[in-house]
Amino acid sequence: MRTNPKILYITYDGLTDPLGQSQILPYIKGLSSYGYQFTILSFEKKDRYKREKETIEKLTSESGIRWVPLSFTSEPPLLSKLYDAVRMRNKAFQLQKIHRFDIVHCRSYVAADVGLALKEKFGLRFIFDMRGFWADEKVDNGQWDLRKFLFRKIYHHYKHKEQQYLLCANGIVSLTDVAKIYLLKQSRFKNLIIDVIPCCADLDHFDYTKINATESLTLKEKLGMPLDARVITYLGSVGGWYMMTEMFQFYKKLTENFPDFYFLILTKDNPEHVKKEAVALGLAEDKIRVLYSSRIELPLYLSICAISVFFIKNTFSKMASSPTKHAELMGMGLPVICNEIGDTGCIVEQTCTGYLVRNFEEKYLEEAVKQVYFLLNLEKEKIRKHAIQIFDLTTGIGKYYNLYQRILED
């Protein structure tokens, strides 16, 4: 085994995306400290690349990581993806001829197509970091309409490729135990070795004990909230998978019992659109705050909150999902009210760090509100302790390290 193994990490997500900065770079920086030499091939959105380029260059260079950014193409639909796939393959082959990598680590399906080709042509060890059932996600969220011939063809193509990726990979990573169990129950996959590594968080950053109480009160004042007001928060994107209407309905029920609660929505999405939906459902606009927080400031914003909520559409494909927000919220000692998604429901119930909503009918939302009395009295320290056991970034990096070592020694 080479002293300092060379790794090509391929992702169709950008390092300048929020996801790239929370779920790609921290792991690779950690693995670099073990002596692995990384080259990251990523696809960057124009505006984010312009805004975040210098930050990412600084972070990668500090850890000796080579970053090869390509531009993300969004138009025209489908054709732009084929164009990017060809560019990804060509650049990866070019990089392989120059650097002679030991492992190609592929984040999701588009990257895996290139990784499999590199394995077949150059003999690289291939890691399929599946991140979820990607083709099924496209169907479940309405992007691929299977009533249309073209989308059916694309879907069946990727389901066939999914089987190839799984059977040919030297290492497989799933975000959830639920998805792993589902795969291993199928006869063709029963002998696969699958490592489960959930979306972890930097719990040194998301740590409520590091927040100054005066700063929290100052932030409340800045947001126009009474200093004694209680705050419930939702963190993340609005719409799509995320059931904002149901979350607003829950908040409406919450304020009937706890009128002092404000709703803080931390999202990059348009604040006016979010508020418009809230008002349409009969909520008081003056009790809702919608804004974007940088990752650096996010712990401070979460520090003013007493509880959190997230409802996600629970489709077939989402059994493989691990919400990053869950790790960050628990790290801040916040109890969560959520629905069952991937391993989340099991984690919430086993650790007693939140409440699981199994149905969004009125009586079930009312029952969830009743549980708020209990949740408000949970110890932050207890919640954070469970976060460290399950979601600590250091543990996640260690699991990837063990995977790398195992396949390099095969």
User: How high is the pLDDT of residue 77?
Assistant: 82
Please say if the pLDDT value at position 192 is more than 70. Answer: yes
CB 161: neighbour CB atoms within 10 A? 16
- Please write the tens of the pLDDT for every residue from 143-169: 999 999 999 999 999 999 999 999 999
Helices (H) and strands (E) in the chain, counts: 18, 13
Structure tokens at 134: 């990607």
Compute the average pLDDT of residues 220-236. Answer: 96
What would the mean pLDDT of 93-111 be, rounded to a whole number?
Answer: 97
What's the CA gap between 7 and 63, in Å, rounded? 14
Label residue 3 by pLDDT band (50, 70, 90).
confident
| CA atoms of 355 and 347, how far apart (whole Å) | 10
pLDDT in tens, 111-146: 999 999 999 999 999 999 999 999 999 999 899 999
- Mean pLDDT (whole number) for 59-79: 94
Maximum separation of any 2 CA atoms in the chain, in Å: 65
The C-alpha atoms of residue 235 and residue 238 are separated, in whole angstroms, by 9
User: Which residue has tokens 């291939």?
Assistant: 126
Cα distances from 134 to residues 99, 110, 150, 262, 317, in angstroms, run: 30, 9, 17, 36, 7
**Which tokens belong to 334?**
């916040």
pLDDT-derived band at 1 (thresholds 50, 70, 90) equals low
Task: For residue range 266-317, list pLDDT tens digits in order.
Answer: 998 999 999 999 999 999 999 999 999 988 899 999 999 999 999 999 999 9
* Structure-token pair, residue 235: 């963190």
Structural domains of the chain ordered from first start: 6-200+392-409 (3.40.50.2000), 208-391 (3.40.50.2000)
